[in-house]
Structure 1
Amino acid sequence: MDRGYREVPHTADVAIEAWGRDLPELFVHAAQGMLSLAVTVEPGATVTASREVSLEAPDWEALLVDWLNELLALQDEHGETYVAFDVSLSAPGQLRAHLQATQAYRLDVAIKAATFHNLAIRHDERGYRTVVVFDV
């Protein structure tokens, strides 16, 4: 099954390539990819909380970085990780998301932040694709 992301080699930090048929799917896959690097969800984990996120940014790349960094901040603040995402995007730079969280996880890699390093969201006939580099 196509997960919509994969880890890619990076010299100093960690990085993922994410893709989706549309921008909301790309944003979900980028979040899933980032969290797959950072945490392991315990088998049988249950949803313990729901969160709502609203963000605005000047463009899609800035919004993607803000989205991923917001997830890291919420994870740190609430001691939980996110296992399900419902993302909607409107007008360039606006995001609304509903998250489902669990506290049954183990931290594997402490990701400090998503970065703008060589970040570009590309579109072709298959959909959208990007590579995101994370500071660790």
Structure 2
Amino acid sequence: MPHTSDIRIEAWAPTREECLAEAVRGLVASFAAPPPAAPSDVYWTVPVSGETDEDTLVSVLDEVIYVLETEGGIPARVETAHGGNGPLLRFHLAPLHEATLTGAAPKAVTLHELRFGPGARGWSCEVTVDV
């Protein structure tokens, strides 16, 4: 990236929700390796909604940053699910202090060159994150 305080994440998957889950996994991998035995009973549920697909991507990644900053947790495992109001992502959280830090923690998702949508072989996204 042109700025040393930015990283770029690219993700792809057959479905919209799985692509979002892959983007979360990519964001976490950019700064930490979760502990091998992540708790299965500690989780954070994130609705998959937004006015646009790009808004949804930003909202989901912002939620990762929020959980990191307020709960001291990172998504060690990410699942797609369906709730009464639509699709959800479930983050199974691990304490940040138990993770192996590999880079700077994310601070914000930027709108610069943001892309998320369907293609010939499924869904893909590209997003820049300020660290």
Query: What TM-score do the two structures reach when normalised by structure 1?
Result: 0.79
Name the aligned partner's letter for residue 25 of structure 1: E
Q: Which amino acid aligns with 2:11?
A: A
Q: Deviations over 1:1-32 (max 9, x none)?
A: xxxxxxxxx11111111111110111000000
Deviation for aligned residue 1:89: 7.3
Contact 2:44 2:90 in 1 (8 A): yes
**Other-structure match for 2:46:** 53
- Give the 4+ runs in structure 1 shifted more than 4 A: none
Q: Distance in 1 between matches of 2:88 and 2:34?
A: 24
Distance 1:37 1:83 in 2: 13
SS of the residue corresponding to residue 52 of structure 1 reads strand
Amino acid at match of 2:53: W
Deviations 1:89-128 (A, max 9, x none): 79xxx65222211112134312111111111224222111
Which sections of structure 2, spanning at least 5 residues, go unmatched?
none
User: Counterpart in 2 of 1:105?
Assistant: 99
Higher relative contact order (CA closer than 8 Å, sequence separation 6+): 2
What CA distance in whole angstroms lies between the structure 2 residues aligned with 1:69 and 1:39? 16
Quick one: distance in 1 between partners of 2:65 and 2:115? 21
Which stretch shifts more, 56-65 or 117-126?
A: 117-126
- Which amino acid counterpart does residue 29 of structure 1 have in structure 2? E
Give the root-mean-square deviation of aligned CA atoms: 2.1
Distance of 1:95 and 1:71 partners within structure 2 = 17
The change in CA–CA distance for 1:123 and 1:46 in structure 2 (over 3 A counts) is closer
Change (3 A) 1:121 1:53: closer
Count of residue correspondences: 123
TM normalised by structure 2 equals 0.82
Gaps of 5+ in 1: 1-9
Relative to 1, partners in 2 of residues 1:54 and 1:38: Cα closer, same or farther, differing over 3 Å? same
Q: Of the candidates 54, 57, 64, which is equivalent to residue 64 of structure 1?
A: 57
Q: 1:77: Cα distance to partner?
A: 0.9
